[in-house]
Amino acid sequence: MTQTNNETLTLVTGGNRGMGLEIVRELAAKGQHVILGSRNLVKGQQAADQLATDGLSVDVVELDVTNPDSVTQAAKQLTDKFGYLSVLINNAGAVFDFGQKASDVSVDTLQKDFGINYFGLIDVTQKMLPLLKKAPQAKIINISSMMGSKTEALNPESVVYQAVAVGYQSAKAAANMFTVQLAKEMQRDQLNITVNAIDPGMVATEFGGATPEQAKSMGAQPITHGVARTIELATDWNNKDNATFSNTEGPVAW
């Protein structure tokens, strides 16, 4: 059975601002029933109210990916209210060590990078998986980064070659491996669930502490460009891609 967008129930973590909010906006506009996950419930509701002025209706759930109790409670709420989930978009992320050398960065900072970008992603995925298994067809989309590509980090012609954020980069590389292993597991178990990673590229948002204007001055793409591949994958139910890492231009080297 092939899913349709008007039957699709989608959860977006970190959905109250930036790229997450744009993903919520575009998927809701395409007819999906979107649940906006936000660490701060008030800010999440404010984002939903903003979307309502454009005629878009979304649900809001309090979801702090770094807090296991919050993740458990969010999964319970979705179970009680909906009973299934079609698409999980693990968008929540942050960088805490930009510019810090590998020889100097503290373990505490590294743990923060891994807490949200790796352990949080896994916790959300594992606790939402029972709901995804109840959908006729489901997708897990992990918002990763080319910054986690060892191939790009060793390529002098790549922008990643100059990047210095070992904690963030390592966490994204680890999340990529989780993507591959979970995708293979779903396939082995003959479940109709695909798992893929997306590189949005450098996007004009406040991610990393920069303003959208500062990001643009450094060559960042418009936010709509950054979410394009995610929207494509989340809405094309004939697309059976699994265990891939890609952006709008095509495959990204692991």
CATH number of the domain where residue 177 is located: 3.40.50.720
Give burial (CB, 10 Å; 0-12/13-18/19+) of 189: exposed
Q: Write down the pLDDT at residue 215.
A: 40
Domain span including residue 181: 5-251
Whole-structure pTM value: 0.93
Q: What is the per-residue pLDDT across 208-226, written as a single tens digit (0 to 9) for each?
A: 445 445 445 445 678 999 9
Residues 30-68: tens digit of each pLDDT: 999 999 999 999 999 999 999 999 999 999 999 999 999
Q: Which of 73, 80, 93, 87 is nearest to 175 (CA)?
A: 93
Tokens at residue 149, please?
């590509």
166-203: pLDDT as tens digits: 999 999 999 999 999 999 999 999 999 999 999 998 77
Please report the pLDDT score of residue 241 as a whole number: 94
What gap in Å lies between CA 157 and CA 134, rounded to an integer? 45
pLDDT value for 205: 55
Give CA–CA dist 84/78, Å, rounded.
7
pLDDT (tens digit, 9 = 90+) per residue, 110-150? 999 999 999 999 999 999 999 999 999 999 999 999 999 99
The domain tally of the chain equals: 1
Pick the most confident of 22-26, 161-165, 244-248.
Answer: 22-26
